[in-house]
Structure 1
Amino acid sequence: MKMEQQQFEVRGMRYVIRSAAAGDAVELSKLRVRIDGETEHMDREAGEAFIDSKGFEKLIQSDSELERNLFLVAQAGGRLVGFSRCEGNQLRRLAHKAEFGVCILKECWGYGIGKELLRASLAWADSCGITKMTLSVLETNTSAIRLYERCGFQIEGVLQNDKLLSDGQYYNTVIMGRFRE
């Protein structure tokens, strides 16, 4: 599915939220590796589960055609600085929900980019009749958890000792959902 472009300005940073396009594929491949290496909030380390530009082209094409999927990018200063995806399900018993995921370059945190990607995704979900959005977040990512709660998400569960990080410690994954009738 595609959505209309939205423009924002926060503390001097101008950025655009728009649907991903095939021309973004090369930059998305590089961006994902970079973001994965900047923080341990992500599931992957830099380079793990690598998606090359052809893989992103296919993903963007598929998400553009599927009614229950949405692939958004955030662009600032002529470059991509983040992206989000909502992935729905075609199974009848699960067709009412979609899973949300987001990543933003660390240098661009604090400008509301994640919040606007989430808001656009929730508006899209509401307009498509998707009544449940789900996501998972590392327990230490408290700012993300607060954002999700402000946007109507509730903690539905915790996966204990779910991720092993570089400090050799295990951390929990928080499962959150937003249900809208």
Structure 2
Amino acid sequence: MVIAKQEFEVNGQNYTVRSAIEKDAKDLTEVRLQIDGETENLDREKGEGLIDIPGFEQIIQTDTEMERNLFLVAEVDNRIVGFSRCEGIYLNRFSHKTEFGVCVLKEFWGYGVGTNLLKESITWADLNAIKKITLNVLETNIRAIQLYKKLGFEIEGILKNDKILSDGKYYNTIIMGRFND
């Protein structure tokens, strides 16, 4: 699905949130690889699960056509600095929900990029009869957990010892959901 472009200014930084388009595929491949190397908050280490240009082109095409999918990018001066994705589940018993994920270049943390990607996704979900958004978050990502709670998400469960990080220790993944009656 596609949404209207939105402009934001946070802490002196201007940026746009818009639906991904096919020509974004190359930049998304590079941005995702960079983000994976900047934080341990995501599931992948740098270079793992690489999505190449044709892979992103296919995802963008699918997400544009499917009514319960949404792929957004955040742009600063025509540079993609973050993106989010809602992926619907197309089984009847799960047709009311979508799974959300977000990532932002570390250089652009603190400008509300992730927050506005999520807010736009919530607005889209609410307008399109999607009743539930789910997400997973690393237990140590306190800022993200606080944001999700502020925007109506609740902790639904914990996957214990779910990830091994660079320190060799195991960490829990928190499962959160937001239900819109």
* TM-score > 0.5 by shorter chain: yes
Runs of 4+ in 1 over 4 A off after TM superposition: none
TM-score (structure 1 length as normaliser): 0.99
- Superposed counterparts of 1:31-50, under 5 Å: 31-50=31-50
Measured in 2, the distance between the counterparts of 1:180 and 1:5 equals 24
Partner of 2:12: 12
TM-score (structure 2 length as normaliser): 0.99
Residue ranges of structure 1 left out of the alignment (5+ in a row): none
Measured in 2, the distance between the counterparts of 1:89 and 1:10 equals 33
Q: Deviations over 1:75-106 (max 9, x none)?
A: 01220000000000111100000000000000
Partner of 1:87: 87
Measured in 2, the distance between the counterparts of 1:88 and 1:78 equals 28
1:30 Cα deviation from its structure 2 partner: 0.5
Partner of 1:67: 67
Letter in 1 for 2:143: S
Measured in 1, the distance between the counterparts of 2:125 and 2:12 equals 30
Q: Deviations over 1:112-147 (max 9, x none)?
A: 011100000001001110000000000000000000
Q: How many residues align?
A: 181
Partner of 1:116: 116
Letter in 2 for 1:101: G
1:160 Cα deviation from its structure 2 partner: 0.5
Measured in 1, the distance between the counterparts of 2:64 and 2:47 equals 25
Measured in 2, the distance between the counterparts of 1:78 and 1:32 equals 16
CA RMSD of aligned residues (A): 0.5
Task: Give the share of equivalent positions with the same residue, in percent.
Answer: 60
1:150 Cα deviation from its structure 2 partner: 0.2
Partner of 2:155: 155
